[in-house]
């Protein structure tokens, strides 16, 4: 596992010493799990916020067990991807002592993020009304499948369900078969970005008003938003979008084509690009002048004939030949790559997207950075995702001012989970907490 990685990717280059972070001084208490919430809080952590991830003792976030797991760690690749720059605190929220510690952390927080099922935080006494009453400057963000109130508050939801119910699946794939979901959790990722925006907007509002507020972001609402302008097109025309495979319903010629050695994608987003493609790249001015291809709608109407011409032409030379010509002519194009090819591509290397960062157990782990660059306030240097409860004592000592004696007493009261022997037997009997 991770063989040869050390020879392929560079060490992370540290940020400028002494440079401020965008979110210096912001403390986030994170009760979220799986992807949307944790990825959102990681974005905040990368911007310099102190993110305290509250996890169930022993088991922790269920995403820790998503494969591939590393045999020396309590986490797999998905967790490593979405939980850097955080401190993990293991609290038993079923014990009065653990719950009291959670309340104390919230009282000293700027932001709370949670994505439990509706009603869980209320049963714990950690709902937004209680938390804002105790800490009026708090930004309390709930990440819901559908909503925290209303007719659908009881519904559970995951990324593939949101893709299906939003219409996103119906738009993707080929017209002669069922629509397909995106393998990447695009709705979780886009929801995480919405949460990051929502929290930062609420923090900015707090600076102006002096008060925090409740914030809610829905996975379903975000998924509908992710159908893009197709929703507005449907409202205008009354027609649902039709699946078009790798072609585009709006621009032509756009799609995947085959050079003699590789498959690549071009996007002729307007008439000028089409003209450059034909005259400068393919040297076919007669095609550029053909009245059947004068506009995008006309080219779409005659797509089959135009694509046959392009397929024949592109197959005569290799990708390097066409890439050079299209780049010189200003025709948007790119290889159809695998994920492994993409992270090793010249573009990814030029942007230092993938690097190696220190790890206390393995020596180093891979890291994929955020696609954000600040000039004056660079994002935080990445710190590898924590093990369950790795920072429990550190956080409770530094944030709440608890003494070692008090921490020992709390441990004896099982505020941080059962004692090791008891936990081992309980693991066999007790069902896993969802």
Q: Which domains are present in the chain? A: 5-228+361-429 (3.40.50.10540), 263-335 (3.30.1540.10)
Q: Is pLDDT above 70 for 40?
A: yes
For residue 242, what are its two tokens?
A: 């039709």
Cβ atoms of 392 and 58 within 8 Å: the answer is no
Res 429: pLDDT: 28
Q: What is the share, in percent, of the chain residues with pLDDT greater than 70?
A: 96
> Rounded to 5, what percent of the chain is helix, strand, coil?
40, 15, 45
Q: Is pLDDT above 80 for 431?
A: no
Q: Which of 17, 26, 18, 19 is nearest to 45 (CA)?
A: 26
For residues 142-161, give the mean pLDDT: 96
Torsion of the alpha carbons at 407, 412, 414 and 417, rounded to the nearest 10: 80
Res 7: pLDDT: 86
Res 80: pLDDT: 98
Res 4: pLDDT: 79
Res 74: pLDDT: 97
Res 152: pLDDT: 96
CA dist 137 and 291 (Å) reads 64
Pairing of strands 50-55, 86-90: parallel
Average pLDDT, the chain: 94
Q: Is pLDDT above 70 for 216?
A: yes
The model's pTM is: 0.93
**Tens-digit pLDDT profile for residues 227-248:** 999 999 999 999 999 999 999 9
Res 52: pLDDT: 98
Res 3: pLDDT: 80
Backbone angles phi, psi at 314, to 5 degrees: -65, -30
Confidence at 433, pLDDT banded by 50, 70, 90: very low
Res 423: pLDDT: 34
Give the orientation angle of helix 36-46 with respect to helix 186-209, to 10 degrees. 50
Non-local CB neighbours of 83 within 8 Å, separated by 6+ positions:
38, 42, 53, 61, 63, 75, 385, 386
Q: What is the share, in percent, of the chain residues with pLDDT greater than 90?
A: 94
Q: Which of 212, 220, 233 is nearest to 191 (CA)?
A: 220
For residues 94-103, give the mean pLDDT: 98
For residues 251-260, give the mean pLDDT: 97
Quote the DSSP letter at residue 248.
-
């Amino acid at each position: 596992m991770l063989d040869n990685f050390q020879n392929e990717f560079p060490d992370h280059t540290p940020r400028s010493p002494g440079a401020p972070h965008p979110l210096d001084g912001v403390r986030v208490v994170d009760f979220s799990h799986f992807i949307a919430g944790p990825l959102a809080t990681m974005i905040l952590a990368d911007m310099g916020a102190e993110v305290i991830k509250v996890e169930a003792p022993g088991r922790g976030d269920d995403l820790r067990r998503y494969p591939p797991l590393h045999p020396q760690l309590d986490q797999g690749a998905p967790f490593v991807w979405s939980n850097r720059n955080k401190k993990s605190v293991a609290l038993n929220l079923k014990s009065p002592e653990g719950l009291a510690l959670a309340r104390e952390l919230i009282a000293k927080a700027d932001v709370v993020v949670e994505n439990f099922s509706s009603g869980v935080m209320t049963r714990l006494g950690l709902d937004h009304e209680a938390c804002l009453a105790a800490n009026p400057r708090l930004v309390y963000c709930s990440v819901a499948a559908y909503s925290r109130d209303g007719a659908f508050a009881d519904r559970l939801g995951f990324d593939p369900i949101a893709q299906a119910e939003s219409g996103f699946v119906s738009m993707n794939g080929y017209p002669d078969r069922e629509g397909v979901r995106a393998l990447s959790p695009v709705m979780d990722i886009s929801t995480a970005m919405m949460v990051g925006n929502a929290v930062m907007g609420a923090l900015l509002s707090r600076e102006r008003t002096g008060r925090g507020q409740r914030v809610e972001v829905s996975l379903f609402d975000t998924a509908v938003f992710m159908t893009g302008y197709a929703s507005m097109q449907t409202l205008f025309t009354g027609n649902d979008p039709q699946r078009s495979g790798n072609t585009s319903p709006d621009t032509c010629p756009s799609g995947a084509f085959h050079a003699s050695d590789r498959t690549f994608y071009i996007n002729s987003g307007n008439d000028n690009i089409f003209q450059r493609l034909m005259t400068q790249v393919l040297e076919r001015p007669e095609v550029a002048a053909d009245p059947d291809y004068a506009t995008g709608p006309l080219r779409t109407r005659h797509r089959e004939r135009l694509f046959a011409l392009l397929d024949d032409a592109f197959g005569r030379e290799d990708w390097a030949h066409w890439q050079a010509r299209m780049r010189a002519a200003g025709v948007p194009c790119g290889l159809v790559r695998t994920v492994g090819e993409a992270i090793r591509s010249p573009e990814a290397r030029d942007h230092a997207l993938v690097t190696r960062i220190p790890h206390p157990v393995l020596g180093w782990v891979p890291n994929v950075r955020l696609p954000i660059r600040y000039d004056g306030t660079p994002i935080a240097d990445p710190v590898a995702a924590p093990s369950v409860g790795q920072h429990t004592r550190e956080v409770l000592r530094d944030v709440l001012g608890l003494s070692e004696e008090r921490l020992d007493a709390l441990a004896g009261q099982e505020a941080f989970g059962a004692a090791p022997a008891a936990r081992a037997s309980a693991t066999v009997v007790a069902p896993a907490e969802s």
